[in-house]
Amino acid sequence: MRLIAHHILACHAKGCTSNNFPLKFSDVESQNAEAEFSPDFLKGFYPKIEWNVLITTAKEKFIKFGEVSLPEEQPNLEDLDEETLKKIHHVLLEIDVITGKMSCPNCGHIYPIMSGIPNMLLAEHEIA
Amino acid sequence: MPTSVTSTTVNSDAEAYEEEHVHAIYDQIASHFSSTRYKPWPIIAKFLDSLPSGSIGLDSGTGNGKYLPLPLDRPNSICTIGLDRSRNLLKFARQAGGKKRDVIWGDVLDLGWRTGIFDYAISIATIHHLASSSRRRQAVETLIRSVSPSHGRILIYVWAVEQDGLSKRSIPPEENSTGIGRDVFVPWILNQSPENEERSHNPSVFNRYYHMFVEGELENLVQDAVANLGMVVGSAKSSVERRGVEILQNGWERSNWYIELKRWQV
């Protein structure tokens, strides 16, 4: 599971409708997955990026770029330079989480990741 | 090999019925099924090709992920995330087209992501596996809620009662027409040894449940889903309402009914 999916996923357990994003990682094993750099994609996706989530994610200890230092404030779209775009590209599209857990910041529900696939299924009594 | 479908009746809880007659089967036939599903249908390819670069979308019921690499002439310009109930099919989807893909093990009725985050959603040959009309409507509602309220686009394909001559399947004779489709079993003939030896009583034929849609049924389902969400069907111009869903195209192709939708708000 690449981190772009983490930027999308939210808890959907019964009654959990606020503060349910982002899910919090734990026990993560990841690997680098090189992906073709596509500035057009990133610029289009840019308005959907929650900057605080991105910089928090970029500081996760399983990120393997060396230092992924992103500015604390989100740059305007037109001010984005290639270096920053490449860092965003790396964080969102080049880290593949193979195993781990994601827990909801609100209700604590845990979504496991196995063989690179996040399990978002809920038991019947947990469904909203 | 020509196969034929047989009528069935959903005689238990719809969810349990799907578990037995859809999910369990796809997990067992995943490998063989995936090897037969590689050709994208033209209207779906065209839909994906029309999306602006930077779009992110959901393929709800992605199967082996054959639509995840599209558009082929603009790779990496959009990102489609594939969702399926079959974990074994997702193993194929995760590497569809030889590249790393983003997949989710989940249910098409659930909304396990930021509401309205997707620019588009497709649901191809999936909703016809849901075993009650309310569950089919709920799946459409999930698609609508998943895409952007201002511009989200949706394409849905379901299997039609009305089959063309090229189709390999023969349909049981028409009963009285009610505007509601037919619940049928569609056999899958496994041409290789089954992955699960427990099914030794009849290892090679798997009857998958389908609800075959009649003409107009998919559009009615969309109408019900939109109304249930407190929105209107129609164009933004012709309405006094603030949020709605416009039907952009609605038709039949290759034994399937399809409908394309676009959300709007003013």
Judged against a pLDDT cut of 50, whether residue B194 lies above it is answered with no
Nearest CA in chain A to B118: A8
Candidates A41, A115, A126, partner chain B, best to mutate (most B CBs within 10 A): A41
Task: Please report which confidence band the pLDDT of residue A123 belongs to, taking 50, 70 and 90 as the band edges.
Answer: confident
Instruction: Give the residue from B234, B238, B227 showing the smallest Cα distance to B261.
Output: B234
Whether B105 has its CB under 8 Å from any CB of chain A: the answer is: yes
Task: Please report which confidence band the pLDDT of residue A67 belongs to, taking 50, 70 and 90 as the band edges.
Answer: low
Whole-angstrom CA distances from A41 to A97, B49, B202 are: 21, 14, 48
Q: Percent of chain B, pLDDT > 70?
A: 89
Judged against a pLDDT cut of 70, whether residue A15 lies above it is answered with yes
pLDDT, residue A61, reads 73
Q: Percent of chain A, pLDDT > 90?
A: 78
Domains within chain A, CATH numbers bracketed = 3-63+80-126 (2.20.25.10)
Residues in A closer than 8 angstroms to B115, CB to CB, are: 10
pLDDT, residue B203, reads 59
Task: Please report which confidence band the pLDDT of residue B36 belongs to, taking 50, 70 and 90 as the band edges.
Answer: confident
B265 contact partners, CB below 8 Å, separation of at least 6: B149, B150, B242, B243, B244
Q: Contact at 8 Å (CB) between B169 and B163?
A: yes
Query: Among residues 17-76 of chain B, which lie with CB inside 8 Å of chain A?
Result: 52-56, 75-76
Instruction: Give the residue from B233, B254, B259 showing the smallest Cα distance to B153.
Output: B259
Residues in A closer than 8 angstroms to B85, CB to CB, are: 121
> What's the CA gap between A118 and A100, in Å, rounded?
9
pLDDT, residue B129, reads 95
Instruction: Give the residue-averaged pLDDT of B167-175.
Output: 57
> What's the CA gap between B10 and A93, in Å, rounded?
43
Residue A105 Ramachandran class (φ > 0 left, ψ -120 to 50 alpha, else beta)? alpha
Selecting from B85, B87, B107 the residue whose C-beta is nearest the C-beta of A117 gives B87
Instruction: Output the six-digit token pair for A4.
Output: 């772009």
Instruction: Give the residue-averaged pLDDT of B67-81.
Output: 94
Strands B79-84 and B102-105 come out as: parallel
- Range of lowest pLDDT (B5-14, B96-105, B128-137): B5-14
pLDDT, residue B170, reads 59
Judged against a pLDDT cut of 90, whether residue B200 lies above it is answered with no
Judged against a pLDDT cut of 80, whether residue B202 lies above it is answered with no
Instruction: Give the residue-averaged pLDDT of B214-234.
Output: 96
Judged against a pLDDT cut of 90, whether residue B71 lies above it is answered with yes
pLDDT, residue A97, reads 95
Judged against a pLDDT cut of 80, whether residue B105 lies above it is answered with yes
pLDDT, residue B1, reads 30
**Is B117 within 8 Å of A35 when comparing Cβ atoms?**
no
- Range of lowest pLDDT (A80-89, B56-65, B101-110): A80-89
Query: How open is the CA angle B96-B149-B42, to the nearest 5 degrees?
Result: 35
CB atoms within 10 A of CB A87: 18
Instruction: Give the residue-averaged pLDDT of B23-42.
Output: 83
pLDDT, residue A69, reads 81
pLDDT, residue B180, reads 85
Give tens-digit pLDDT for A75-118.
999 999 999 999 999 999 999 999 999 999 999 999 999 999 99
Task: Please report which confidence band the pLDDT of residue B195 belongs to, taking 50, 70 and 90 as the band edges.
Answer: low
- Give this complex's ipTM: 0.94
Using H for helix, E for strand and C for coil, what is the string for chain B?
CCEECEECCCCCCHHHHHHHHHHHHHHHHHHHHHHHCCCCCHHHHHHHHCCCCCCEEEEECCCCCCCCCCCCCCCCCCEEEEEECCHHHHHHHCCHHHCCCEEEECCCCCCCECCCCECEEEEECCHHHCCCHHHHHHHHHHHHHHECCCCCEEEEEEEECCCCCCCCEECCCCCCCCCCCEEEEEEEECCCCCCCHHHCCCCCEEEEEEEEECCCHHHHHHHHHHHHCCCEECCCCCCCCCEEEEEEEEEEECCEEEEEEEEEEC
Give tens-digit pLDDT for B119-162.
999 999 999 999 999 999 999 999 999 999 999 999 999 999 88
Whether B150 has its CB under 8 Å from any CB of chain A: the answer is: no
Q: Give how far B194 is from chain A: nearest CA, Å.
A: 23
Per DSSP, the three-state class of A71 is coil
In the predicted model, what is the mean pLDDT of chain B? 88
